[in-house]
Amino acid sequence: AQSVTQPDIHITVSEGASLELRCNYSYGATPYLFWYVQSPGQGLQLLLKYFSGDTLVQGIKGFEAEFKRSQSSFNLRKPSVHWSDAAEYFCAVVYYNAGNMLTFGGGTRLMVKP
């Protein structure tokens, strides 16, 4: 079965520090990978996505993610975190030719210390 793992349930970083949120997906067919952010009581906002090509993708709000097929990972990074980045982050995957269903990870809650 398809699965997405976000190993860190909570992460706390200081404002201005760098950030890396981990995401691992189960091996399968060609994956399409997404990162979403959700503020409390809000819907999902797409940060970035990877379909093909350059494995380092740039997203909105200064985020980037790198697809590493050998490690089945798609980690999200930001060089300098802002207090407004505090939110819940979800990694998600769609496997081509597997019904195109979106599978979400469990989420990582990011807290930012002043």
**Residues within the interface to another protein (CB under 8 A):** 32, 34, 36, 41-44, 46, 49, 51, 90, 94, 96, 100-102, 104-107, 109
Residue 41 or 53 having the CB closest to another protein: 41
CA 45, CA 19: separation in Å to the nearest integer?
18
Shortest reach from residue 82's CB to another protein, in Å? 23
Shortest reach from residue 17's CB to another protein, in Å? 24
**How many Cβ atoms from other residues are within 10 Å of residue 101's Cβ?**
9
Residue 14 or 45 having the CB closest to another protein: 45
Which residues are within 8 A (CB) of 107 and not within 5 positions of it... i.e. 6 or more apart?
6, 9, 38, 88, 89, 90
In this structure, the chain runs to a length of 114
Residue 18 or 46 having the CB closest to another protein: 46
